Amino acid sequence: MKLSVVIPAHNEEGCIESTVLGLLETLRMNQIDCEILVVNDNSSDATEAILKRMSEAHEEVCYLNNTPPNGFGFAVRCGLLNFSGDAVAIVMADASDSPQDVVKFYHKLQEGYDCIFGSRFIHGGMTQDYPGFKLVINRLANMFISALFGMRYNDTTNAFKMYRRGTIDGLKPFLSNHFNLTVELPLKAITRGYSYAVVPNSYTNRAVGESKLKIKEMGSRYLFIVLYCLIEKWLSVGDYKKENRPKENLSKENLSKG
């Protein structure tokens, strides 16, 4: 199974090379057929020059230039429309996601699930240097989403997830233009009946550069997409449901620290 890794990058000259090469080395060591597709999101720094050099040096690395307007959701959507693999992972450019977790997700997907969702807040999960205010907002938002949808998954806003190609096709059309895409994809997958497993993953706050997530700009956008998916769940009457879907896989052990 060929794995594509989509990485959105806006002005990430300080970390994109180490992120891509560290991921590539790990995937090679684990003999995973892969494509690392970086979407240059209208960067004004040296990001594109670095991507060009890496793509010429490594056959697994390629990049696309996202057309304006820029935004996390626009960039990820560009990648999801252009990846070549049988499955795709969404990974951040700032090295906050662990390459070893990508390998772990890949092997879990091969057990037959349609999606693998990460959680940093279950047994085995970890956060390092997570800003305190953002952490409080994160937990409140995820508690709200979990309660609305009646589900045990407790890290819906986590951007780090993996999907089979057929699952991505079944989640279209995409509506979100910004970080709310991280919520749209899993909620649609759950609502539309795709099988998923929840796997602990780690998060390390970026060492260089500036976070692109602006909380004060995202509240209404997150709320819109959450309510959209909730309305679909209530009113679609199974129109999007995948037939013969397995049940959610989330062990009691993993829930013990949720």
Other C-beta atoms lying within 10 Å of the C-beta of residue 49: 12
Distance linking the first and last C-alpha atoms of the chain: 31
Q: What is the pTM of this model?
A: 0.88
Q: How far apart are CA 92 and CA 123, in angstroms?
A: 22
**Tokens coding 115:** 């999606």
Residue of 139, 172, 131 lying closest to 158 (CA atoms): 139
Residue of 87, 127, 122, 123 lying closest to 107 (CA atoms): 87
The pLDDT score that the predictor gives to residue 96 is 92
> Helix or strand or coil: residue 204?
strand
- As for how many domains the chain has, the answer is 1
Domain at 141, CATH number? 3.90.550.10
H helix intervals, 150-214: 165-170, 181-191
* 90: β partners: 6, 161
Residue of 20, 189, 165 lying closest to 88 (CA atoms): 165
- Which structural domain, as residue segments, surrounds residue 59? 3-255
- Distances in whole angstroms, Cα of residue 76 to Cα of each of 2, 116, 175: 19, 17, 12
Q: What is the C-alpha R_g of the chain?
A: 17
The pLDDT score that the predictor gives to residue 105 is 98
The pLDDT score that the predictor gives to residue 219 is 75
What residues in the chain have per-residue pLDDT under 70?
Answer: 206-218, 237-241, 243-258
Quick: pLDDT tens for 70-80.
Answer: 899 999 999 99
Write the Ramachandran bin of 209: left for phi over 0, alpha for psi from -120 to 50, otherwise beta.
left
**Tokens coding 15:** 């970390």
CB 16 within 8 A of CB 9: yes
The pLDDT score that the predictor gives to residue 109 is 98
Cα torsion through 122, 124, 130, 133, rounded to 10: 20
